[in-house]
Amino acid sequence: MAKSVFITGANTGLGFQIVRALYSSSKEPYYIFVGSRSLANAHNAIEAIKTEFPTSTNTLTPIQIDIEDDTSIQSAYDTISSHVNGKLDVLINNAGAIFDRQIASERELWNKSWSVNTASTQIVTSKFVPLLLQSSDPRLLFITSGTASFAGSANRALKVNQSPETQGWPKPGFLGLPAYRSAKTGLNMLMLEWHRILKEDGVKVFAISPGLLATGLGGDTEFLKRLGAADPSVAGPIIRSVVEGERDGDVGKVLTRDGIQGW
């Protein structure tokens, strides 16, 4: 029987690469729900992946979901539940965004960052947990960031951690990603809480830090490349390895490509 996987924010960037990695896998059959705020974009992503991997026997289904909209979340839940007879094997909370360079209002910036990256992810997870609990091998994944690490914040070699060279306020130039990284640090705690809450239910809970990637996450891929971002395609196999059980010894932790990310 095919393993059912729901990925939010799956029509572009890292989400798209996760879909590619799973759809091209021959290890086991997959029934993949491609979540997107726009059904048209989900369809376009599906057609691109099917064209790239024409011999795959896995299944792709578009799902409209705006993770900030409770009605949209409920509709996605109802659709997926009907397709999988009330059972979901894997939920990958991938949808997220960087607003630090996009929103001028400080209050709006911080509210939006936490709403998209943390609060809405919590609400989606709460809604879909009943479906996960019907699986014989349930997995719950949260896509986090290297910028969320307290230990990593001490690395002054990274541009996001460098201190401004000027005194006074306001300070000119790039001041890092404080709203985004704070929200992702909150997401790490969210993962730990779900690991604690669902431990006796046998749900394997992980956070995955795929590294800095040149996605449209912050609306400026060239800016991310200047920060040293890698091509998003390197991340798909990392997430697939977690879905397929290769990292089960690290449950409840923040996984990187080669090891564990410090808190």
DSSP one-letter string for 218-234: TS-HHHHHHTTPBPGGG
Rounded CA-CA distance 90/205 in Å is 10
Residue 172 pLDDT level (bands cut at 50, 70, 90): confident
With respect to residue 263, please indicate whether it lies within any of the assigned structural domains.
Answer: no
With respect to residue 133, please indicate whether it lies within any of the assigned structural domains.
Answer: yes
Q: Which two tokens stand for residue 152?
A: 């990593």
Counting Cα atoms < 13 Å in the Cβ hemisphere of 67 gives: 29
Q: What percent of the chain has pLDDT over 70?
A: 92
For 191-201, what is the mean pLDDT?
98
For 213-230, what is the mean pLDDT?
65
pLDDT reading at 156 higher than 90:
no
For 190-217, what is the mean pLDDT?
90
Q: What pLDDT does residue 3 have?
A: 96
Strands 30-36 and 3-7: parallel
With respect to residue 121, please indicate whether it lies within any of the assigned structural domains.
Answer: yes
For 7-20, what is the mean pLDDT?
96
Catalytic residues: 145, 180, 184
With respect to residue 47, please indicate whether it lies within any of the assigned structural domains.
Answer: yes
| Residue entry with tokens 């040293």 | 228
With respect to residue 260, please indicate whether it lies within any of the assigned structural domains.
Answer: no
Q: How many domains does the chain have?
A: 1
Q: What pLDDT does residue 27 have?
A: 87
Q: What pLDDT does residue 173 have?
A: 77
Contact 140, 204 (CB under 8 A): yes
Q: What percent of the chain has pLDDT over 90?
A: 74
Contact 94, 125 (CB under 8 A): no
Distances (CA, A) of 67 to 77, 143, 194: 11, 15, 18
Q: What pLDDT does residue 224 have?
A: 67
Residue 223 pLDDT level (bands cut at 50, 70, 90): low
Q: What pLDDT does residue 4 have?
A: 98
| 3-class state of residue 44 by DSSP | helix
Q: What pLDDT does residue 158 have?
A: 72
**Owning domain of residue 240:** 3-255
Residue 118 class from Cβ within 10 Å (0-12 exposed, 13-18 middle, 19+ buried)? buried
Contact 2, 31 (CB under 8 A): yes
Q: Which of 114-118, 228-232, 235-239 has the lowest mean pLDDT?
A: 228-232
Looking at every residue in the chain, the average pLDDT score rounds to 92
With respect to residue 159, please indicate whether it lies within any of the assigned structural domains.
Answer: yes
For 156-162, what is the mean pLDDT?
73
Q: What pLDDT does residue 202 have?
A: 97
With respect to residue 147, please indicate whether it lies within any of the assigned structural domains.
Answer: yes
pLDDT reading at 236 higher than 60:
yes
Q: What is the pLDDT of residues 55-67, one digit of tens each?
A: 999 999 999 999 9
With respect to residue 204, please indicate whether it lies within any of the assigned structural domains.
Answer: yes
Q: What pLDDT does residue 14 have?
A: 92
pTM for this one? 0.93
Q: What pLDDT does residue 107 have?
A: 97
**E strand or H helix at 48, and its extent?**
helix 39-52
CATH no. for residue 114?
Answer: 3.40.50.720
Residue 251 class from Cβ within 10 Å (0-12 exposed, 13-18 middle, 19+ buried)? middle
